[in-house]
Each structure stands twice: as C-alpha cells, then as structure tokens.
C-alpha cells in the first residue's frame, strides 16, 4: 500500500529537464549554440576587465587591463577552436572563432555608443561600430585558428548549461557593481531613469562618467547586459527544445529580470517619469531593499538552471541514503534563511539616517537581527557542509560543494566582522576605501554563499534518495 511519503524523497528525474527530442540532437549536435554561449562568456569577461579599467587604476595598470580585454576575447575564441562537440557538419576552428567575435561585438553594442555619444554624426557612429566588428572578428579569427592548432578537446558540452553558467556569472557581476554603488552611496548619482542626465542610457558619453556617476551608470549598463543575456537564454531554451520545466523557468526568470530592472529604475525616480527635476522625483528606499534582494534570487535561479541543464545532471545516478529526508530538509532550509539574512543586511545598509557632520545612525534592530540570524545561518551552513563532505563522499559533486560552502561561510563571517568594524569607526561623511572594499566584498560573498547553498539543495534533490527499507517501513500501515 503506497502513500505520499516515499514520493517526497525520490530524486528529480533528469527527464524533467531533458530536451524534448529523445536523441538530444538539438542540444548537442550543432556547435553554434556553444559558440553563442562562448561569445557571451567572452563579453562578460571583457566587461569585468573594462569595469576595472574605468576605476582609474593608473596609466600603466589601465593599459594592461585594456590589453587584457583583447586577450580575453582571443582566449575564449581559442577555446572555441579547440572544442570538438561532435557537430554533424564539421566547422573549421577559425570560423568558430569568428562566430565568437561576432557575438561579442554584437553584445558590445550596448557600450560602444558611450564612445561616440548621442551628438555624434552618423558617419562617426558607423566608424566606431565598424571598427568594433572588425577588431572583434580579427581577434576571434586569430584565437580560433590558434585553438585549432592545439590538441582538440573532444568533449560533449550542453550549450544551455554553459549559457546558464555564463548568465549566472553576469548576474553575479551585476550584484558586485550594485554592492559598490551602495557602498559608495552613489545610488542616486544619476537622478533620472531610463535616461541618464537626459541622454539615452546607451549613448551617455564616457567622458561624463566620473566619480559616483560612473559606478551608478555602469551598474545600469550591467543590468542591460544581464537583460540581453537572459532574453537570449530564454530564446535558446525554446529553440533547442529544452525540457518543459526549463523552458518555463527561463521565461519566468526573464520576467524576473524585467521586474528587477523596473524596481531599480523606480528606486531612483519613485514614479514613471523622464524628468530630472527633484520636485518630480521621490527615491524609494523600500524598492532599494527589494531590488538588492531580488537580484540575489535571480542569481540563485540561474545557478539552479546551470545545474539542471548540465551534462553532469543528465548523467547523474541517484544513490540511496538513510539521511535523505534530513539532508533535503536542511539543504532546502539554508537558502531560505540566507534570503532572510540578505533582507536584514539590506535594511541595515539602506535604512541608515544621516545626521549632523555627516555622521550616520544605523537601524540597530536590523543589525542585531542580522547578526543573530547570521549565527544560525553559519551553524546550519557548516552542518550542511559537513553532512555533504563526510556523509556523501561517494558523490563528488556534493563532497566538493560541502567543502565549498564551509569555506565561503567562513570567509563571509570574517568579512562581516571587518565590514561592521569599518562602518562603526568611520570618522565622518567621507567613506574610506577599505570600508567600501569590506562592505562590498561581504555583500558579494553573501551572493556566492546563496549560490552554493542553492546548488547543494538542487543537487541533493537529484542525487540523494531514501533507502527502500526506510521508505517501505514508512509506507506500511501499522498492524491492527
């Protein structure tokens, strides 16, 4: 006689996320989806390096970082040239590198407009855009050709899983840039939205991006990158006929990103307006908190998508464990508590009150609650880490994640202490650099912790099932 209990502890079948085509040909047979994902990966890397270039690291370091953006595109194109995913029609390595370059140039159209601005002549814009494509294609061609001269990597890649991982990375960098905006108190440096000081956001001149304006505007551009990446992922999931669950989650996360962008804009203006006048604007702190936390949820969602669309997920074999129910409960509870922890941390950062001489009054209720819940989260993270490290040693994925979460939570605890000290000892209105670094690193590590905990929760559902004896005894009715 069956009941619902064994059903609660079964693993998630890979078929729930598998491609609609039984042979998986739409996912693995063609190289273009992989090259598309690699093109986005190159762009994300270039944006991360370019972001550092604009933080005024010095002439020499700046030039090195600028050269590194070209190297990043070359390296990713070389990877494309080396990959041999089993395409039905062989594609030359150089052509694959060119594909990566074209994809990268197309996505980089989001920022090239800042180089010529909204007042530039059409011919000037054409030169910049033509130059972008010419350089990107040339670098991609060289990288692909070089990769093709090396020993090939004959590996099967799930392009949707690769793309989801790239998207998760893009969202993580968006969270980092958002943390820097909050840490530098530059959230209102650009007063209007969706424009920037009356300019089209994509055409706001690079020469005017100074100080807090740069950090706020760069965060907006990263939001555009995440939006384009998410839209492409959603289209790709349907084009490749991914499993129904993945396709609908892809559409859901696209909607989430749109809502996230809207919250970010309304946080600045308070209402839908194109005005820059203070009288027409009403910055919203509640939306600032929701915007920060919701971004973390989107990141966690992409981490889960990267797992369930991966080849490792498809090939995984569930194994029995007497602790299955407890493992699933604890691993599922941890991300929920972390989201609560993020809410309290966001309240502490955003609800501070500026007083005389630039001194600030922080909401102590948020601080005490954040610390109290932090103790519980740390203990639970360590417990989950130990259970996966020691209790599931025959499952390499869970073992590695167990070690990772213990390392990340330890770092998060240390950064939390340093960030708290930095905020408490600030002498005046000016924000010391070490405080910005500490608070932003603490926020970024919190996002990483949520990503790892989400990964553990998802993988536990896939790999850990109850032993038959336990399930059977639970299902059998008690004797009369």
Given a cut of 70, the residues of the chain with pLDDT beneath it are: 1-11, 13-30, 57-60, 85-90, 353-361, 393, 428-429, 469-480
What is the structure's pLDDT at 98?
96
CA angle 421, 384, 322 (to 5 degrees): 170
| Cβ partners under 8 Å of residue 194, min gap 6 | 201, 265, 274
Residue 83 DSSP code: B
- Tell me whether strands 464-466 and 360-361 are parallel, antiparallel or unpaired: unpaired
**CA 382, 302, 16, 337 torsion-angle sign:** positive
Q: How far apart are CA 388 and CA 330, in angstroms?
A: 11
Q: Where are the domains of the chain?
A: 14-315, 318-473
**By the 8 A CB rule, do 31 and 83 touch?**
yes
What single-letter DSSP state applies at residue 88?
Answer: S
Sort strands 353-354 and 360-361 into parallel, antiparallel or unpaired.
antiparallel
**Residue carrying structure tokens 């001194």:** 359
83 - beta bridge partners? 153
CB 11 within 8 A of CB 462: yes
Element at 76 (helix H, strand E): helix 59-82
Angstrom CA distances, 181 to 56, 399, 401, 470, stand at: 16, 36, 30, 51
The separation between CA 402 and the C-alpha centre of its own chain, rounded to angstroms, equals 21
């Amino acid at each position: 006689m069956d009941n619902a209990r064994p059903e609660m502890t079964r693993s998630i079948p890979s078929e729930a996320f598998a491609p609609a085509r039984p042979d998986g040909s739409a996912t693995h047979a063609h190289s273009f989806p992989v090259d598309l994902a690699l093109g986005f990966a190159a762009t994300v890397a270039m944006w991360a390096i370019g972001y550092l270039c604009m933080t005024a690291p010095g002439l020499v370091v700046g030039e090195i970082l600028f050269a590194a953006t070209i190297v990043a595109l070359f390296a990713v194109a070389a990877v494309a040239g080396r990959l041999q995913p089993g395409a039905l029609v062989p594609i030359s390595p150089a052509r694959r590198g060119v594909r990566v370059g074209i994809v990268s140039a197309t996505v980089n159209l989001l920022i090239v407009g800042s180089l010529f601005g909204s007042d530039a002549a059409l011919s000037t814009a054409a030169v910049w855009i033509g130059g972008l494509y010419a350089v990107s294609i040339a670098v991609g061609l060289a990288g692909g050709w070089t990769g093709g001269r090396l020993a090939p990597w004959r590996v099967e890649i799930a392009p949707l899983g690769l793309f989801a991982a790239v998207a998760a990375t893009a969202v993580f960098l968006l969270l980092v840039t958002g943390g820097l905006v909050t840490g530098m108190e530059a959230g209102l440096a650009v007063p209007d939205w969706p424009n920037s000081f009356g300019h089209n956001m994509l055409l706001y001149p690079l020469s005017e991006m100074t100080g807090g304006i740069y950090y706020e505007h760069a965060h907006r551009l990263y939001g555009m990158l995440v939006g384009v990446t998410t839209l492409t992922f959603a289209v790709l999931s349907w084009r490749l006929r991914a499993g129904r669950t993945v396709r609908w989650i892809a559409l859901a996360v696209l909607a989430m990103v749109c809502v996230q962008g809207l919250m970010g804009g309304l946080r600045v203006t308070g209402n839908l307006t194109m005005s820059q006048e203070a009288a027409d604007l009403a910055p919203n702190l509640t939306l600032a908190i929701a915007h920060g936390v919701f971004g973390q949820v989107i990141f966690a969602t992409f981490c889960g998508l990267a797992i369930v669309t991966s080849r490792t997920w498809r090939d995984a074999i569930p194994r029995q464990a007497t602790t299955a129910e407890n493992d699933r409960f604890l691993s599922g509870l941890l991300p929920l508590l972390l989201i609560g922890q993020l809410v309290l941390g966001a309240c502490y950062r955003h609800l501070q009150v500026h007083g005389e001489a630039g001194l600030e009054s922080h909401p102590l209720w948020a601080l005490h609650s954040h610390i109290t819940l932090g103790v519980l989260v740390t203990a639970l993270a360590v417990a989950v880490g130990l259970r996966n490290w020691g209790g599931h040693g025959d499952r390499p994925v869970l073992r590695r994640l167990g070690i990772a979460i213990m390392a990340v939570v330890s770092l998060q605890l240390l950064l939390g202490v340093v960030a708290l000290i930095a905020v408490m000892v600030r002498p005046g209105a000016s924000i010391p650099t070490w405080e910005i670094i500490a608070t932003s690193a603490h926020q970024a590590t919190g996002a990483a912790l949520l990503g790892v905990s989400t990964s553990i929760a998802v993988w536990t559902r896939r790999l850990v099932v109850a032993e038959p004896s336990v399930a059977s005894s639970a299902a059998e009715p008690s004797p009369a």
